[in-house]
Amino acid sequence: MAVISGDGVFSHVFIGAADVDASARFYDAALGALGINNLGPFGSGWILYGRDKPAFIIAKPGNGEAPSSNGATIGFAAKTTDEVDAFHAAGLANGGTDEGAPGPRSHLPGAYAAYLRDPAGNKVCTYTFTE
């Protein structure tokens, strides 16, 4: 079984959004369900998220081009299946679209996950393990 721990290999993840305000509403709700907080704006139009330090950032792309992430997925850790369900419901209620309803995933034993597209079209998910 795959083990997902709190010791990550990334310092942060940065994604582009054409409408930062719409994306912030989505992430405030969806990530809030996982205990991940909006840590406020930074600079010109950046929004920082994390539990105790910035780890996830949304902003307009610096090069001025349209954001695109087709083929990429960002996964957030959930503590319980209830958090996965809440993430999915909150995301849908705040401009997200369904990419995979909450439930078990056969490709990983004990995995319970949900997938969404944020308002900018980025694919995000949350996983917890029940075994």
Domains of the chain in start order, with CATH, are: 13-62+72-129 (3.10.180.10)
pLDDT, residue 28, reads 98
| Strand-strand pairing, 111-117 and 97-104 | antiparallel
Mean pLDDT along residues 98-115:
93
> Does pLDDT of 7 surpass 70?
no
- Binning pLDDT at 50, 70 and 90, where does residue 8 land? low
- State both tokens at 108: 């990983």
User: For residues 62 and 7, what is the distance between their CA atoms, to the nearest angstrom?
Assistant: 29
pLDDT, residue 41, reads 87
Global pTM reads 0.82
pLDDT, residue 9, reads 65
pLDDT in tens, 24-56: 999 999 999 999 999 988 877 899 999 988 899
Mean of the per-residue pLDDT values of the chain:
88
> Does pLDDT of 85 surpass 90?
yes
pLDDT, residue 4, reads 44
User: For residues 23 and 130, what is the distance between their CA atoms, to the nearest angstrom?
Assistant: 30
pLDDT in tens, 62-77: 778 887 776 688 999 9
pLDDT, residue 1, reads 38
Note the residue count of the chain: 131
Strands laid side by side in the 123-129 sheet = 73-77, 123-129, 111-117, 97-104
